[in-house]
Amino acid sequence: MHLGLGAFHRAHQAWYTQHAADAADWGIVAFTGRSASLATKLTEQDCLYTLVERGADRDGFEQIASIVRAVPGDDVAEFTRVVAAPETAILTLTITEAGYEPGPAMERIARGLRARRDAGSPPLAIVSCDNLPDNGGVVRRAIENLDPALTENVSFVSTSVDRITPRAAEGTSAEVFEATGFEDAVPVVTEPFSDWVLSGEFPSGRPAWETAGARFVDDIEPWELRKLWMLNGAHTLLAAEGQLFGHGTVAEAIADSRCLDAVRALWAEDARQLPDLDLVAYAEALLERFRNPRIVHRLDQIALDSLTKIRVRIVPVAKKELVDGRDAAACAQAISAWIAATGGTLVDVDPALAADVAFASRVEKEFT
């Protein structure tokens, strides 16, 4: 089962489940976050939908059938029943970073876990697919804060997820119908690239996601940091610097040599702070993805909640570079662009960096 039914889940976890070698043995009961609209529309078309893989020169169209039921998120009784059901082996989550704070999502999960415990159902794996470091640990701590006993029959799996999934344009349904003949009210547009790294136990079984390209590792932190610093960090840099130069999308910004040079410099600093995870090939793959003009990934959308993002995507690398005796110039440029774009300050970003006179001077010399 899944909580947080939306475009990313349908482009990522549902896609991996459809492509697993044992896909016929598994189905997803998906609950929306709050709105009933998507659940209603999916139900009206038997939970089938079209995944449009938008490459640089052509589109691929695939019908996805791994979601077998779509349920409004406000149906707490049904959510509780499905969590408690013995045939439910996994609960995956895409509830955004805010969903892990005390509130409705965690309370809903805790209610379901109590019902599962009372029913004597077998162990459950909870798999966070949100863009948070140690996201499995974040879920565990959130549940422990509500009721520590609820974690006793649950495993918490950490993951690193990666697939750019922009909002589908208004004419996408018409494109799908023209290409496939299927009247799809809720198609999903995504890029051809996809990556999923998981670490943790599945005590009641799982789909053979590795046969669809997922990677299972003992230590997920390096993979999380590679994605967080290189992909997400570059996005945060481009969201600020690209908009300063008048660009609206990632593809437009990366075509500007000033932005490209800044991204490459940032990646060089990232690479010094990461183990060798085939970083050169990863960087080149990122550039190919960024340059795809048919994935309209808007900089203003990436820039939302940018202060939080820069603190986790840029600041840790800057601090590590400074500790190693280097100047962290590329990180300074990224922070400077953010300050110029938002009107924020270096103190807002990190007081310790602001107290470093040499680093603060580098930040001030760029865009401020």
**Do 164 and 308 fall into the same domain?**
no
**For residue 313, what is the domain's CATH number?**
1.10.1040.10
**Do 259 and 178 fall into the same domain?**
no
Residue-level pLDDT at 30: 98
Residue-level pLDDT at 244: 97
**Do 130 and 227 fall into the same domain?**
no
**Do 242 and 213 fall into the same domain?**
no
How many domains does the chain fold into? 2
pLDDT-based confidence at residue 368 (cuts at 50, 70, 90): low
**Among 217, 240, 266, which residue terminates a domain?**
217
Average pLDDT over residues 326-347: 97
pLDDT digits (tens, 9 = 90+) for 265-280: 999 999 999 999 999 9
**Do 209 and 238 fall into the same domain?**
no
Residue-level pLDDT at 92: 98
Average pLDDT over residues 31-51: 95
**Do 131 and 87 fall into the same domain?**
yes
Residue-level pLDDT at 367: 84
**Do 93 and 6 fall into the same domain?**
yes
**For residue 175, what is the domain's CATH number?**
3.40.50.720
| Residue 226 contacts residue 282 (beta carbons within 8 Å) | yes
pLDDT-based confidence at residue 320 (cuts at 50, 70, 90): very high
**Do 22 and 56 fall into the same domain?**
yes
**Do 83 and 166 fall into the same domain?**
yes
Mean model confidence pLDDT for the chain: 96
Residue-level pLDDT at 34: 75
Taking the CA atoms of residue 346, residue 351, residue 355 and residue 357 in that order, the dihedral angle to the nearest 10 degrees is -20
**Do 161 and 137 fall into the same domain?**
yes
Average pLDDT over residues 286-298: 93
Q: Which residues contact 311 (CB under 8 A, 6 or more apart)?
A: 349, 350
**Do 228 and 141 fall into the same domain?**
no
pLDDT digits (tens, 9 = 90+) for 103-147: 999 999 999 999 999 999 999 999 999 988 899 999 999 999 999
| Residue 123 contacts residue 203 (beta carbons within 8 Å) | yes
Average pLDDT over residues 28-51: 95
Q: Closest Cα to residue 294, out of 230, 240, 250, 244?
A: 250
pLDDT digits (tens, 9 = 90+) for 157-214: 999 999 999 888 899 999 999 999 999 999 999 999 999 999 999 999 999 999 999 9
**Do 139 and 46 fall into the same domain?**
yes
Share of the chain above pLDDT 90, in %: 93
**Among 217, 251, 280, which residue terminates a domain?**
217
| Residues spanned by the domain of 153 | 2-217
**Among 172, 189, 217, which residue terminates a domain?**
217
